[in-house]
């Protein structure tokens, strides 16, 4: 269906969350704020705080607009709209100059140039033409322009615009909350959306191969994409097989950052470039786009590594040995960040367990809650007491940096492909970074994607002990923490019960509600089995 869609600019298309604190510091303001909202709260507690806020706002919207980013999913929404021949308009209430801006930077020119730089504005088939951008001096003028354009939909981050009595009746009102709390509007007919991907799916349904093909040709024209087909997603990302001039490639669409703020694409892109340059068996990184939050990687043909796990575990060990050797030449402070949910201090694993328990306790379901309270929590108390007894004061000590290792984090043969020539290619490095080798070793044993036998776990631990032999406490620490990592994995298995995690899963797979329920029941049985076997240790 062809739509006439209007978009607000500030905080709807453009995201200033990280820009505002930077601008505040440029002005000499003392702040610890990590984002725009925190900064506003800080400044409004001070004398003349409102003036300071307006000074920051004026500079962020003008002179320092380059610090702004596209809201996650905006470019994807615009491309999908244009593929369907929708007409897009930008209507923004924006004064000519910013408050207290001595440089007199023209805000409208700055916004237009930023839109061009971000590939939103232009003459291309998937871009918004410059004549479809309107800046108004007052809210009244903005409402009049929305009315005059006879829009089917208008999307804004300010509820006061949408509920204004002068807002045109025929235009559907969409409040973009940007992941914030939804507001209640009674009978005002306002639809609240927390993310641009939600908006895309609301108007256009699930992303299709045709959308991806158009977007790939727009962003990576040098690859000459010719055809696209959807394949089963891995983890939380959508995967498409892209036929290009250079052959097949894997196009990966990561979970939107409004839902999951972890820098998955950035982390994986850095990891793959490092690993591929060092001759590791990983897919070649071909292209990535910061605004779409998509990447293109080499397509690797073959079968899942779990198909022949017993005879291939040694290749996983070889990979970790080579990675440990490569990590010795790197500075833990500069080259890579910590792995996602790194546990460099033993007590951290318990904190992570408690956080996961807290989220699962919110979920309704008698069987789930009975398992948590009657089975898992008593085991946690017992194994925590054991770990503290074994490690003593070291339970709260951070591991010496000499023994840190670069970890793929979600590592195993479940994330590998055996090629026709028998090589094993590892993939999925979204959580890559520095970690304790004990966590890497324990996670490999416990990962439900592989279901290793006790004998295979023992073999893996023997190899790991040899790799990390410089760490004299490695085996003792592993023995103390191994059951706690099992409990942590039991809770990870239960992610299918958490609404926030289900949303990520649905990004990767097309599933209906009944399938989600079936999966939850299977995962609960797996978690029960893991806790039941807690004392069957390979150490």
DSSP secondary structure string for all residues of 173-241: EEEE-TTSPPPP-TTS-EEEES-HHHHHHHHH-S--HHHHHHHHHHH-GGG---EEEEEEEETTEEEEE
Distance CA 339, CA 63 (A): 36
Contact 108, 135 (CB under 8 A): yes
Token couple for 536:
């069957």
Backbone CA torsion sign across 165, 170, 171, 177: positive
pTM: 0.89
User: Can you tell me the distance from the alpha carbon of 208 to that of 198, in angstroms, rounded to the nearest whole number?
Assistant: 15
Q: CATH says 209-298 is which class? A: alpha beta
Do the domains 4-16+68-204 and 209-298 sit in the same CATH topology, yes or no? Answer: no
Q: How far apart are CA 421 and CA 349, in angstroms?
A: 39
Q: Which CATH number is correct for 303-532, 3.90.1200, 1.10.1060, 1.10.238, 3.30.450?
A: 3.90.1200
- The pLDDT value given to residue 50: 86
CA dist 274 to 244, 295, 378, Å?
A: 24, 16, 43
CA separation for the pair 87, 424 (Å, rounded): 48
Instruction: Round to whole Å and give the CA distance between 251 and 536.
Output: 41
How far is 524 from 391, CA to CA, in rounded Å? 31
What's domain 4-16+68-204's superfamily in CATH? HAD superfamily/HAD-like (3.40.50.1000)
In the prediction, which pLDDT does 187 show? 43
pLDDT given at position 109: 94
Helix (H, G, I), strand (E, B) or coil at 333: coil
Phi/psi at 260 (5° precision): -130, 105
The two beta strands, 405-407 and 433-435, are antiparallel
Task: Calculate the CA 33 to chain-centre distance.
Answer: 22
- Greatest extent of the chain over all pairs of C-alpha atoms, in Å: 74
Domain-by-domain residue ranges, the chain? 4-16+68-204, 209-298, 303-532
Q: Which of 129, 140, 137, 136 is nearest to 89 (CA)?
A: 129
| Residue 237 · residue 253 · CB < 8 Å | yes
Neighbours of 334 (CB within 10 A): 7
Under a CB-based contact definition with an 8 Å cutoff, are residues 155 and 6 in contact?
yes
523 three-state secondary structure = helix
> Residue 458 in contact with residue 537, Cβ under 8 Å?
no
Residue 27's pLDDT is: 86
CB neighbours (10 Å) of residue 169? 7
- For residue 514, the model assigns a pLDDT of 63
Tokens 């998937």 correspond to what residue?
Answer: 126
**What's the Cα-to-Cα distance from 341 to each of 132, 413, 459, rounded to whole Å?**
45, 20, 26
Across the chain, how many H-helices and E-strands are there? Answer: 19, 18
What pLDDT, on the 0 to 100 scale, is given for residue 539? 87
Distance between CA atoms of residues 292 and 395, nearest Å: 42
Query: CB atoms < 10 A from the CB of 101, how many?
Result: 18
Give the pLDDT score at 507.
52
Q: Are the CB atoms for 507 and 256 separated by under 8 Å?
A: yes
Closest CA to 477 of 410, 413, 396: 396
Distances, alpha carbon 475 to alpha carbons 161, 402, 460, 465, 467, in Å: 62, 16, 12, 7, 12
C-alpha span between 193 and 187 (Å, rounded): 17
Q: How many CB atoms lie within 10 A of CB 257?
A: 20
d(CA 435, CA 234): 23
d(CA 328, CA 408): 16
Low-confidence ranges of the chain (pLDDT < 70): 1, 98-101, 179-188, 233-235, 309, 332, 501-514
Q: What is the pLDDT of residue 232?
A: 73
Taking CA atoms, 230 is separated from 276, 391, 510, in Å, by 26, 49, 11
**What is the rounded distance in angstroms from the CA atom of residue 225 to the CA atom of residue 247?**
9
Query: Do 151 and 171 meet the contact criterion of CB atoms below 8 Å apart?
Result: yes
pLDDT of residue 466: 97
Sorted by sequence, the CB contacts under 8 Å of residue 183 that are 6+ apart come out as 159, 175, 177, 190, 192
Q: What is the pLDDT of residue 213?
A: 97
**Buried-exposed string 442-459: b where 16+ CB fall within 10 A, e elsewhere:** bbbbbbbebebeeebbeb
123 CB burial (10 A radius; 0-12, 13-18, 19+): exposed
Look at residue 15 and give its three-state secondary structure. Answer: strand
Write down the pLDDT at residue 73. Answer: 95
Can you give the length of the chain in residues? 539
Note the pLDDT of residue 415. Answer: 92
Q: What integer best gives the mean pLDDT of the chain?
A: 91
Rg (CA), the chain: 26
């Amino acid at each position: 269906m062809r739509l006439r869609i209007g978009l607000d600019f500030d905080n709807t298309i453009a995201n200033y969350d990280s820009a505002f604190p930077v601008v505040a510091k440029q002005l000499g303001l003392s702040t610890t704020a990590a984002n725009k909202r925190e900064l506003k709260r800080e400044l409004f507690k001070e004398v003349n705080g409102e003036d300071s806020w307006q000074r920051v706002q004026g500079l962020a919207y003008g002179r320092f607009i380059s610090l702004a980013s596209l809201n996650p999913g905006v470019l994807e929404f615009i491309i999908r709209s244009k593929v369907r021949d929708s007409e897009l308009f930008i209507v923004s209430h924006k004064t000519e100059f910013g408050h207290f801006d001595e440089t007199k930077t023209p805000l409208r020119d700055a916004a237009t140039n930023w839109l061009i730089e971000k590939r939103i504005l232009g003459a291309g088939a998937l871009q918004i033409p410059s004549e479809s951008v309107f800046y108004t001096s007052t809210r009244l003028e903005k409402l009049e322009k929305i009315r005059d354009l006879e829009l089917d939909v208008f999307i804004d981050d300010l509820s006061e615009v949408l509920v204004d009595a002068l807002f045109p009746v025929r235009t559907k009102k969409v409040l973009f909350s940007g992941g914030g709390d939804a507001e209640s509007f009674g009978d005002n007919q306002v639809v609240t959306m927390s993310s641009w991907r939600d908006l895309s799916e609301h108007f256009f349904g699930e992303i299709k191969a045709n959308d991806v093909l158009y977007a790939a040709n727009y962003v990576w024209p040098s690859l000459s994409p010719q055809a696209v087909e959807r394949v089963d997603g891995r983890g939380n990302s959508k995967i498409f097989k892209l036929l290009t001039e250079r052959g097949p490639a894997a196009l990966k669409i990561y979970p939107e950052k409004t839902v999951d703020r972890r820098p998955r694409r950035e982390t994986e892109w850095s990891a793959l470039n490092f690993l591929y340059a060092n001759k590791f068996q990983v897919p070649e990184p071909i292209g990535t786009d910061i605004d779409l939050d998509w990447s293109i990687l080499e397509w690797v043909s073959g079968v899942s590594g779990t198909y022949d796990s017993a005879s291939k575990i040694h290749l996983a060990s070889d990979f970790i040995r080579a990675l440990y050797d490569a990590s010795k030449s790197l500075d833990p402070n500069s080259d890579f960040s910590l792995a996602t949910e790194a546990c460099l201090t033993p007590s951290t694993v318990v904190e992570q367990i408690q956080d996961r328990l807290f989220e699962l306790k919110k979920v309704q379901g008698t069987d789930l809650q009975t398992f948590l309270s009657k089975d898992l929590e008593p085991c946690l108390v017992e194994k925590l007491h054991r770990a503290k007894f074994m490690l003593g004061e070291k339970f709260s000590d951070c591991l010496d940096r000499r023994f840190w290792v670069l970890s793929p984090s979600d590592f195993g043969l479940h994330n590998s492909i055996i090629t026709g020539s028998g090589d094993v290619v590892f993939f999925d490095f979204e959580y890559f970074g520095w970690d304790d080798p004990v966590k890497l070793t324990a996670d490999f044993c416990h990962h439900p994607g592989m279901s290793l036998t006790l004998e295979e776990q023992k073999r893996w631990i023997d190899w790991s002990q040899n790799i990390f032999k410089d760490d004299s406490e490695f085996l003792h620490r592993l023995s103390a923490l191994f059951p706690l990592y099992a409990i942590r994995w039991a809770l990870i298995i239960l992610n299918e019960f958490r609404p926030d995690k289900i949303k990520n899963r649905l990004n990767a797979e097309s599933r209906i509600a009944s399938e989600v329920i079936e999966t939850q029941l299977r995962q609960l049985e797996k978690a029960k089995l893991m806790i039941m076997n807690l004392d069957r240790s390979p150490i």
